[in-house]
Amino acid sequence: MAKRAEKKKTEPALGEIAAPEWERILREMVLVRKFEEASEKAFRKGKIGGYLHVYSGQEAVVAGITSALRKDDIVYAGYRDHAHALLLGSDPKDVMAELYGKASGVSKGKGGSMHLFDVDRGLYGGYGIVGGHLPLAAGTAYSLRYSGTDRVCVCFFGDGAMNIGSFHEALNMAGLWGKRGMCPVIFVIENNGYAMGTSVDRHSAVTDLSARVEAYAIPSEKVDGQDTFAMRGVADRVISQVRMTGRPYCIEAITYRFSGHGAADLFQPYRSKEEVEESRHRDPILILSKRLREMTGLTDEDLQEMSDWADEEVAEAVRFAEEAEEPDPKELFEDVIALEPGREPDGDVSSPLHWGPRDEGGGEEDEEDEEAEDAEDVEAAASSEQAGDEEGEEE
């Protein structure tokens, strides 16, 4: 069993990261918050189909990690994935258009809120199936190392995903491959305290979630997910370590979501209003703003400028999404790996775009012909065997 990682330095000194970079990170976190608020409004107006999960309250987790990544690293996310796309650099207009189901969305309007995809910026998908992306992340990390690169893969998932079978399968393989330095993956548990409406102590027999990964020989540690400085400090150290060793690592970020599980979770009977209100005292944007006021001289005017800028960016994204074109209906058959009714694979089965037409003379007649040929082969073999036996007797 892996040892718990010793408590190490978790915060970079201000001098290690320039003040302008910290202010850029804060600016992007403000953008994410306002983007999420706008998407909730649009959902309630019926402009966003499917479903919607917002990230408000958890911004420090993704901001701290992604700001420490290289552009060629890879990120997987669960269904609460808007912040991941925005903080990796996806255009807010394209992300909002995806929520609206428009053709110019990052997934051509086919993915919606839970399935954002932007490979050019390192986002290999948000995934609506809980925990379904963990095996993909482990396999991706293996392929990165097998290809001789020093790139890393980061996989974000919620505390509820840890009770899914694919979690255990992925962690086991990552632990095994990691022993040979062949799995540079960082698992990030976004522990916001609730799996939908079920608290951690009601859905997990072991509430120390980061400790659970040690059963797979993967070291881990906890970090305050409301503190961007703490998240960035852990990210700098862990990403560098995983990039060098090729061994997996797990970070459990203790965080809190201010909104309900999804856009339809209005009454949140599983937690009190007092609890939610209390959590707002640890708003990651307020915490980082306070730190930057003290350390860089950030002013009220600076914060107002950030807020105004984010308002304009989000308003432009909403306008763009509302005016964007709907996808062409023929897009339903593009980028889909499936056989059309009445068609069978022909030639290169690895290329689903080249499925050939069904043979006109095929079907049941072909099967009958094959059965007849098989029967003839069996009969011929039996005759040959009998002839051989007779020759043997004669000898």
pTM score? 0.83
**Region class of 196: left (phi > 0), else alpha (psi between -120 and 50), else beta:** left
d(CA 194, CA 203): 9
Continuous segment of H or E residues that includes residue 26: helix 19-44
**What pLDDT score does 113 carry?**
97
**What pLDDT score does 152 carry?**
98
* Number of Cβ atoms within 10 Å of the Cβ of 334: 11
**What pLDDT score does 263 carry?**
86
125 phi and psi, to 5 degrees? Answer: 120, 145
Q: Give me the tens of pLDDT residue by residue for the chain, a chain 395 residues long.
A: 555 555 555 555 555 567 779 999 999 999 999 999 999 999 999 999 999 999 999 999 999 999 999 999 999 999 999 999 999 999 999 999 999 999 999 999 999 999 999 999 999 999 999 999 999 999 999 999 999 999 999 999 999 999 999 999 999 999 999 999 999 999 999 999 999 999 999 999 999 999 999 999 999 999 999 999 999 999 999 999 999 999 999 999 999 999 999 988 989 999 999 999 999 999 999 999 999 999 889 999 999 999 999 999 999 999 999 999 999 998 888 887 776 677 666 655 554 444 444 444 444 455 555 555 556 655 655 555 554 444 444 33
Angle (deg, nearest 10), helices 19-44 and 59-66: 130
**What pLDDT score does 128 carry?**
96
Q: Which residues pair with 77 in a beta bridge?
A: 126
Q: List b or e across 297-315, with b for residues whose CB sees 16 or more CB atoms inside 10 angstroms.
A: ebeeebbeebeeebeebbe
d(CA 38, CA 32): 10
**What pLDDT score does 2 carry?**
54
Tell me the HSE value of 297 on the side-chain side, using a 13 A CA sphere: 0
